C-alpha cells in the first residue's frame, strides 16, 4: 500500500468516512486532495484534511540532493465550527499550503507559520496559520525504515496582527495568550486576541 493510501486509511480510522473531497493540482506537483469530515456526534465541527502532501518527504531547500526516503512527512488538518462562515472555500488555500514543500521547498514543522496570501475563505479574518503539535487528533502513521512517520499537523488560523505578534514573541507566547483569553480557535468568525497588555 502506498504512503498516500495508508495516510487516508489513518484519517478515516480517526475521523470516520469523509463526506466530501476535492482535488487540486499545481504545476509540477502531485495531486493534492482535501477531505472534509463532519463530526458524527453532532458537535457542529467540520474538519478538513489534506491528502497527498505525505507522498514525498519534505526536503531542506539548502540540501544538495533530495533524499527520496528520508525526511519529515506530513498532512495538514483544520477544524472549524460549521455554519458560521463559508469555510468550504478553504479547499484551494489548504491544498496550496500542502503543495508548498514540493513547490517552494518549505519544511512544515510545529510552531511555524504558513501564509495563504489572502483570506483563508471569503471574508475570513485570517490570512495565515500556525502549525500546531501533531499526534492529538490523528496519531502519527509509522512507515518502514528509513522513512520518518507521517505526522498530521493541526493548523490554527491567525489574524494578520496575531501573525505579526507571533513573529516577534514566538509561537508558544501566542498560544499562551490564546489560552489565557479563552480564545475559541475553531470559531471561523472570531476576533483577534488582545495583544496590547
Q: What is the pLDDT of residues 116-156, one digit of tens each?
A: 989 999 999 999 999 999 988 999 999 998 999 999 999 99
- CB atoms under 10 Å from CB of 182, counted, come to 7
Within a domain: 196? no
Within a domain: 75? yes
Within a domain: 123? yes
Within a domain: 194? no
Q: What is the pLDDT of residue 102?
A: 86
Within a domain: 187? no
Virtual torsion, Cα 130, 58, 88, 175, nearest 10 deg: -10
State the pTM of this model: 0.93
CA atoms within 13 A on the CB side of 27: 0
Q: What is the pLDDT of residue 47?
A: 96
Q: Report how far Cα 150 is from the mean position of its chain's Cα atoms.
A: 13
Within a domain: 60? yes
Q: What is the pLDDT of residue 180?
A: 94
Into how many domains does the chain fold? 1
The Cα 151–Cα 128 span in angstroms is 20
Within a domain: 191? no
The Cα 157–Cα 154 span in angstroms is 10
Within a domain: 97? yes
Burial of 78 (0-12, 13-18, 19+ CB in 10 A): buried
The boundaries of the domain holding residue 70 are: 3-180
What separation, in Å, do the N-terminal and C-terminal C-alpha atoms of the chain show? 52
Burial of 119 (0-12, 13-18, 19+ CB in 10 A): middle
Query: pLDDT below 50 — which residues of the chain?
Result: none
- Of the candidates 107, 131, 128, the one whose C-alpha atom is nearest the C-alpha of residue 117 is 128
Amino acid at each position: 500500500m502506498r504512503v498516500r493510501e495508508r495516510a487516508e486509511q489513518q484519517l478515516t480510522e480517526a475521523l470516520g468516512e469523509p463526506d466530501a473531497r476535492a482535488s487540486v493540482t499545481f504545476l509540477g506537483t502531485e495531486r493534492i486532495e482535501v477531505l472534509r469530515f463532519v463530526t458524527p456526534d453532532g458537535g457542529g465541527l467540520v474538519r478538513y484534511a489534506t491528502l497527498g502532501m505525505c507522498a514525498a518527504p519534505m526536503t531542506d531547500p539548502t540540501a544538495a540532493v533530495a533524499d527520496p526516503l528520508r525526511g519529515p512527512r506530513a498532512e495538514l488538518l483544520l477544524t472549524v465550527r460549521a455554519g458560521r462562515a463559508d469555510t468550504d472555500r478553504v479547499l484551494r488555500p489548504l491544498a496550496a499550503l500542502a503543495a508548498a514543500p514540493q513547490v517552494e521547498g518549505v519544511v512544515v514543522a510545529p510552531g511555524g507559520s504558513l501564509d495563504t496570501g489572502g483570506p483563508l475563505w471569503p471574508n475570513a479574518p485570517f490570512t495565515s496559520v500556525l502549525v500546531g503539535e501533531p499526534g492529538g487528533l490523528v496519531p502519527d502513521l509509522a512507515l518502514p525504515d528509513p522513512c520518518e512517520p507521517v505526522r498530521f499537523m493541526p493548523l490554527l488560523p491567525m489574524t494578520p496582527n496575531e501573525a505579526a505578534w507571533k513573529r516577534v514573541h514566538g509561537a508558544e507566547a501566542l498560544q499562551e495568550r490564546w489560552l489565557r483569553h479563552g480564545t475559541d480557535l475553531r470559531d471561523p468568525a472570531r476576533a483577534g486576541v488582545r495583544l496590547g497588555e
